[in-house]
Amino acid sequence: MCITCTDSCCNNGRLTAHRKRPTGEDLYTCRQCGKCWASQSAFYGHINMHRGKYRCTECDKCCRSRYLLAEHKRSHSGHKPFECSVCGNQFASSGNLVRHYRIHSGDKPYKCYVCEKVFSEAGHLKRHMSVHTGDKSYKCSLCDKSFGNSSNLRRHKHQVHSNSRPFSCRHCGMLFKTNTDMKWHVRIHTGDKPYSCRHCSDCFTRLEQLKTHLLKSHNEGTWLTCHICQKKFSRSGSFKQHLRRHEGVKPYVCSECPKCFCTVAELRRHVPVHSDFKQFSCGLCDKGFKFMVTAKNHFKRCSAI
């Protein structure tokens, strides 16, 4: 039994791994990719992925079995044989389908041993642990902002410091920085609403919209209240942005000029000022615009003619 949280483990190995989780202590480090693990069994399982004898001809990734290699190759071919019975979304692997289905079931099997917060994916729990350890060893080389894990650092660099928009909407040609942003946008055209409320028949385009609905309509969840003005928020991101405005904190700095912003979205809207690139175009006359709001206003006038 763990003396910290009284949880029981079936053997000494699992108990040792469990005790390291709250402190964020990672003893096993992969020499090939730098990933760290607290559990010896999880570490060796990861090492076997590098030692896999079945190699993908497309990207050189190694897999431990023919089945895993075939599953991986579907990511290159676009073949998605696993379909969600609730919303119809398709996936290349059964594991991805299982993780997706937790959106509908609400299942969150991964629990933080410090604050008991629960997560639907192991990776989300690992990123969350940096909140308790205070570890922010991943520093951005462009603005000195620090992060608890490498994925958040990569996301920050791409969204804040990069102008690359490699993802294009197949319906209107609009460009996006991330595949997730593009998928959200495509639902405007398709009308797809994969997030359904378990209490009523309402469906939503985004998970955040569903969470807000559950709070407002069914009193499920916890409101975040500003201690200064008592304004309530359903999303932690919006709550943090609101607090920054009270505190006058503007952490997002333009790389081209000294202007600072409270949010990434505000910085994104500002960045095109320094570029001649016009990412938005009118579908009627093909005239280009730097900003979405300008393109929308033009389209209204153009369609009224």
Q: Using an 8 Å Cβ cutoff, are 18 and 124 in contact?
A: no
- Measured CA distances, 225 to 6, 51, 55, 170, 228 (Å): 33, 50, 52, 40, 9
Q: Using an 8 Å Cβ cutoff, are 149 and 164 in contact?
A: no
Residue 292 lies in a domain: yes
Residue 294 lies in a domain: yes
Q: Residue 246 in 3-state DSSP?
A: helix
pLDDT for position 229? 92
- The 10s digit of each residue's pLDDT in 226-277 is 999 999 888 888 888 888 888 888 878 887 888 888 887 888 788 888 878 7
Residue 120 lies in a domain: no
Stated length of the chain: 305
pLDDT for position 3? 43
Residue 282 lies in a domain: yes
Question: How many domains, in total, are found in the chain?
Answer: 1
Neighbours of 32 (CB within 10 A): 10
Two tokens at 43? 């570490």
Residue 288 lies in a domain: yes
**Per-10-residue mean pLDDT, the chain, length 305:** 48 49 52 64 67 71 78 76 84 83 84 85 80 75 74 74 78 81 86 88 88 89 89 85 87 83 82 80 80 83 78
Residue 218 lies in a domain: no
> pTM of the full predicted structure?
0.45
In the beta sheet, which residues pair with residue 111?
118
pLDDT for position 52? 59
Q: In whole angstroms, give the CA distance from residue 128 to residue 117.
A: 9
pLDDT for position 188? 87
What is the domain extent for residue 279?
270-298
Residue 78 lies in a domain: no
Residue 283 lies in a domain: yes
Integer-rounded Cα radius of gyration of the chain: 23
Which H or E run includes 129? Answer: helix 122-133
pLDDT for position 34? 61
